[in-house]
Amino acid sequence: MLKFELLQEDKTSAARLGRLTTAHTTVDTPIFMPVGTQATVKTLTPEDLYEIGAGIILANAYHLYLRPGCELIQQAGGLHRFMNWKKGILTDSGGFQVFSLSKLRDINDDGVWFHSHIDGSRHFLTPEKVMEIEAKLGADIAMCFDECAPYPCTYEEAEKAVKRTSLWAGRCKKAHNNDKQVLFGIIQGSVYPELRERSVGELTALDFPGYAIGGLSVGEPKEMLYATLEVTTRMLPREKPRYLMGVGAPEDLLEGVRLGVDMFDCVLPTRLARHGTAYTAEGKITVRNALYAADFSPLDARCSCYVCQNYSRAYIRHLIKAEEILAQRLLSYHNLYFLFQLMAGIRAALAKGEFPSFYREFFHNYISA
Amino acid sequence: MLKFELLQEDKTSAARLGRLTTAHTTVDTPIFMPVGTQATVKTLTPEDLYEIGAGIILANAYHLYLRPGCELIQQAGGLHRFMNWKKGILTDSGGFQVFSLSKLRDINDDGVWFHSHIDGSRHFLTPEKVMEIEAKLGADIAMCFDECAPYPCTYEEAEKAVKRTSLWAGRCKKAHNNDKQVLFGIIQGSVYPELRERSVGELTALDFPGYAIGGLSVGEPKEMLYATLEVTTRMLPREKPRYLMGVGAPEDLLEGVRLGVDMFDCVLPTRLARHGTAYTAEGKITVRNALYAADFSPLDARCSCYVCQNYSRAYIRHLIKAEEILAQRLLSYHNLYFLFQLMAGIRAALAKGEFPSFYREFFHNYISA
């Protein structure tokens, strides 16, 4: 099941406030969804995520199909029970991972042959097989199996990926049969406006309950990301949720909302945590640096999260230097909290009709680098 | 400050129930103290530890002196503030670490020259210097700087270490000047009863508020550990707390209590967690094993901890195989909880005068290996 209500639209941009209801959750949009690729948002428990405010998390069908196997997860009672997560889950189909992680692939219109990045074993995935996997995982929202073209790629390569993505979307829709789970289509087309337009046309003709914008944030310059996003979202149906895949830097969340996106996901907050980096209202800081060795202030003086209320930069830097896991845990918690506060701020501004000033204020303070 | 009350003594053994009050905490003994060597109990927050029931944790003067440096911790307001821990802390002096971790040491009665295991830098530690370090850290309980003889060692080597430990204990006591912090003496003597006796005599002559039993659990057979412990504890003053250093396997906690020990510490629960092993009422299980791949029961069916209420062996095994940090975090939590429940059971049995039957029941179920 899926319900999407538009609560408010910004007058000066494509930004909108909405409410999304799935089988396990109701969340206000625009929303950020933490990534739990392998059935865990790295270092954190579900309780940590509830505390941070997470309502939907991501998991990855490709990864879970390879390890521990979707039959095992089905046997456990589905992904929610397996990982002890009681709210919404969205499973990415693994299209992106098949093309970015696996080896020696052989792709044709039927499906993809690939070798597991874990043990080299050979697998064949088709749109029908991916629907079967996602049904076993039992997420609230499943994604179509798509072909994600790399960046850069020629017009001809991108066109081929669009064609195949549309073909597979039709087969996914036909194979998907699950009244608790909904299926989103994925728009491809690389950075070519004409191909994006064609992809939107072909996917919307299939009438999905929601649309993801794929093939972005794969290495293209920010200007191209924003320009492509703009031409894509403006053609998507107003009344359905729009999900920009793999995008999550604070400045991109702001731009994405401005251009009409409702849902985001990204590994960045937990990956930056592993690298000893924290978000702050003024921009990112590399807590690992000697600069913070005797800095007894919190990661972000404006942040009210558990980490900022209880720990100093100096302590977290010590944990990083001593290779203590608590460093990753505290930084992951803070970075996710920071993004959730940002999204809450965006939603509050949209509700009050003050998105433009919120947007200006954010960029006045935040130095992206 | 330190207050130790003896609440109850077992009629059939040296086991005793007590209550220990330090500057930051009051705990019932026998107690297990989790180890936070580098100012963090690996993977866990202070809140996790409060939830588990921890009242005193350990930290290590040697490690913290080398990194991040005790001046930095003093500047942060002491170790409690630095690591956000509000209850008791005991700092080990680093005697054991100087002899086990560092390189190219040169030891004489004045002190020890050694090279840091982190960056090779050269350091000289004396009893007075260690007292200064421990004062800066500001733990509730500080340990004397001692010489810990390895196992096996000759009688002559062990005798030399006892002599030096007594000499240094006197200098530590003289140098220690802190009314919030108390100083414990450390008994040495390897596995030689005569030397243990001499060490107890020399240390108790200095009249410390509590005594640690060092130089055990360093590789000697269990029978030797127990026999040495027995001759040592029976000579120690009844009214003062006794702390067995570095011992924490469930069976050793039971034996230690039976032989009159009040305080224990050990890295085992968190180290086993890193190796994918969990304590259960029936003994240890290696959750990493394929045996548990589709086992949807909790780590320990009798355990009421957060982990056992919410996660299966199959899920935790998946996290281990996928190298996800949450595995370590969940196993650390459970293993510590298991030991805290065991100690709570021991204390309840002592209060009811039922320690002997608790002891038998435990060994009836628990297979140590």
Residues A152 and A219: their CA atoms lie apart, in Å, by 8
Give A114's contacts (C-beta < 8 A, 6+ positions apart): A98, A102, A103, A104, A105, A106, A122, A123, A125
Per cent of chain B over pLDDT 70 is 99
In DSSP notation, B3-72 reads: EEEEEEE-SSSS-EEEEEE-SS-EEEESEEEEB-TTSS-TT--HHHHHHHT--EEEEEHHHHHHTT-HHH
pLDDT score for A105: 74
Do A248 and A284 fall into the same domain? Answer: no
Helices (H), B108-238: 127-137, 155-175, 193-205, 222-233
| High-pLDDT (> 70) share of chain A, % | 99
Domain C-terminal end among B216, B245, B266? B266
For residue B308, pLDDT beyond 90:
yes
Q: What is the mean pLDDT of residues A53-62?
A: 98
Mutate to test the interface with A, among B318, B323, B324, B329 (most CBs of A within 10 A): B318
pLDDT(A95) > 90 = no
Partner residue opposite A38 with nearest CB, options B40, B72, B322 = B322
Residue B24 annotated in ligand binding? no
Asked if B68 lies within 8 A of A43 by C-beta distance, the reply is: no
Q: B82 and A328 in contact by Cβ < 8 A?
A: no
What range does the domain containing A202 cover? Answer: 3-266
Both B236 and B258 in one domain: the answer is: yes
HSE of B144, CA atoms in CB hemisphere, 13 A: 31
B325/A321 CB distance under 8 A: no
CA-based nearest distance A180→chain B, Å: 24
Strand partners for A212: A186, A243
pLDDT band (50, 70, 90) for residue B105: confident
DSSP three-state, residue A233 = helix
- Residue with structure tokens 């949209």? A350
Q: How many residues does chain B have?
A: 369
Do B172 and B247 lie in one domain? The reply is yes
**In this structure, are B54 and B38 located in the same domain?**
yes
Interstrand relation of B3-9 and B16-21 (parallel, antiparallel or unpaired): antiparallel
pLDDT recorded at residue B104: 60
Mean pLDDT computed over B19-23: 98
Give chain A's largest Cα–Cα span: 60
Question: Beta-carbon neighbour count of residue A16 at 10 Å?
Answer: 21
pLDDT at A182: 98
Binding residues of A: 92-96, 146, 188, 215, 303, 305, 308, 334
**Residue that is last in its domain, among B248, B266, B284:** B266
Task: Answer whether residue A104 shows pLDDT above 70.
Answer: no
Question: Looking at beta carbons, which residues of chain B come within 8 Å of A298?
Answer: none
Of the candidates A190, A187, A188, the one whose C-alpha atom is nearest the C-alpha of residue A154 is A190
pLDDT in tens, B167-194: 999 999 999 998 899 999 999 999 999 9
Question: Which amino acid is present at A44?
Answer: L
Residue A245 shares a structural domain with residue A367: no
Over range B10-17, report the average pLDDT.
Answer: 98
CATH code of the domain covering residue A139: 3.20.20.105
Q: Which residue in the set B44, B46, B314 is minimally distant from A76, CB to CB?
A: B314
- Mean pLDDT computed over every residue of chain B: 97
For residues B318 and B288, give the distance between their C-alpha atoms in angstroms, rounded to a whole number.
Answer: 8
In whole angstroms, what is the distance from residue A222 CA to residue A227 CA?
9
Name the DSSP letter for residue B98: H
Do A157 and A190 fall into the same domain?
A: yes
One domain, residues B240 and B305 = no
What is the total count of domains within chain A? 2
**Distance between CA atoms of B340 and B256, rounded to whole angstroms?**
15
Task: Give the least confident one: A46-50, A196-200, B336-340, B363-367.
Answer: B363-367
Count Cβ atoms within 10 A of the Cβ of residue B251 and give its class: 0-12 exposed, 13-18 middle, 19 or more buried.
Answer: middle
Chain B closest-CA separation from residue A90 CA (Å): 19
- The answer to whether the Cβ–Cβ distance between A42 and B72 falls below 8 Å is no
Q: Are residues B295 and B356 both part of a single domain?
A: yes
Closest residue of B to A71, CA-based? Answer: B294
> How confident is the model over A42-62, as a mean pLDDT?
98
Best residue in A70, A137, A324 for a mutation probing chain B (most B CBs within 10 Å) = A324
Pair A304, A352 in one domain: yes
B47 shares its domain with B131:
yes
Residue of B252, B262, B265, B300 with catalytic role? B265
Q: What is the pLDDT of residue A341?
A: 98
- Of A77-91, B34-48, B98-112, the poorest mean pLDDT is in B98-112
A100: pLDDT confidence band, cut at 50, 70 and 90? confident
Find the CB nearest A319 among B40, B75, B310: B40
pTM of the model: 0.98
Number of C-beta neighbours around residue B12 at 10 A:
10
Both A338 and A255 in a single domain? no
pLDDT tens column, A306-343: 999 999 999 999 999 999 999 999 999 999 999 999 99
Q: How far is A132 from chain B (nearest CA, A)?
A: 20
**Rounded Cα–Cα distance for residues B252 and A357 (Å):** 65
**A304 vs A322: CA distance, rounded Å:** 26
Is B225 a residue whose pLDDT tops 80?
Answer: yes
pLDDT greater than 70 at residue B202? yes
Q: Which residues of A touch B314 (CB under 8 A)?
A: 68, 72, 76, 82
Q: Is B110 a catalytic residue?
A: no
Residue B363 assigned to a binding site: no
Among B209, B244, B266, where does a domain finish?
B266
For chain A, the average pLDDT equals 97
Q: Are residues A243 and A317 in the same domain?
A: no
